[in-house]
Amino acid sequence: MSISSWFSDYVKDNINISKNKNSEGKRSRDWLIEQISKLSNRSGFPSLYPNEYDVKMGSYARKTQIKPLDDIDQMIVFNACGSTANFDSSNWNDIKINVPENATNLIKFVGENGLSSIKLMNRLKEYLKSINQYRNAEIKRNNQVIRLDLNSYEWGFDIIPGFRTVYDSKGNYYYIMPNGKGTW
């Protein structure tokens, strides 16, 4: 066996995820996103950002995931409904989101420091538990993500709620996600 064929076999057997497993992972991720988008139509659930509410992220999205496929990272982007954020803070990892009174589905998640990422994550966690196929799954909040461990697959999902900013003066926008402490 040549070094080249040994290396190819090694990569195939130990590093690369099979095409079937990769396709299965994409289908399960897409199904999860579809279920979350259906949740946004429920009363009391915050609306999702139109046309861009699912941001694929992490090594699986970058196609750098190696065996075993054990998690798929997914950001769910909510509609900020006119909320503002304090980007002038001296601490980049402690953004306060101020929700206007007319944002009725978001105002429910305001705490003493503006929009509470923990309250929003807990609500998302509750709604995930209401999906029939996830009733036996383990769903828990772990700092800035909701971990969805599935019984039916080897992998789980790390679901990150977030918000998209408006364009800045240079034409860029950013995503704001939980910091694990209740703010963003």
As a whole number of angstroms, the distance between CA 182 and CA 184 comes to 7
Please, are residues 72 and 150 in contact by the beta-carbon 8 Å criterion? no
Q: What is the pLDDT of residues 94-142, one digit of tens each?
A: 899 999 999 999 999 999 999 999 999 999 999 999 888 898 899 999 9
Residue tagged 């190696």 (tokens):
66
Supply 63's token pair.
Answer: 């196609």
Q: Which of 10-14, 86-90, 91-95 has the highest mean pLDDT?
A: 91-95
Tell me which residue range forms the domain holding 164: 17-176
The DSSP bridge pattern shows strands 156-164 and 145-149 to be antiparallel
Model pTM score: 0.87
Q: What is the DSSP string of 8-77?
A: HHHHHHHTSPPHHHHHHHHHHHHHHHHHHHHHTTSTTSPPBPTT--EEEEHHHHHT---SS--EEEEEEE
Q: What is the pLDDT of residues 157-170, one digit of tens each?
A: 999 999 999 998 99
Supply 121's token pair.
Answer: 């994550």
pLDDT for the residue 103: 94
125-140 exposure pattern, b = at least 16 Cβ within 10 A, e = fewer: bebbeebeebeebebe
**12: confidence class by pLDDT, cuts 50, 70, 90:** confident
What are the residues whose beta carbons fall under 8 Å from the beta carbon of 174, sequence distance 6 or more?
164, 165, 168
Q: How many domains does the chain have?
A: 1
- Does some domain include residue 181? no
The CATH number for 106's domain is 3.30.460.90
- Does some domain include residue 156? yes
- Does some domain include residue 3? no
- Does some domain include residue 12? no
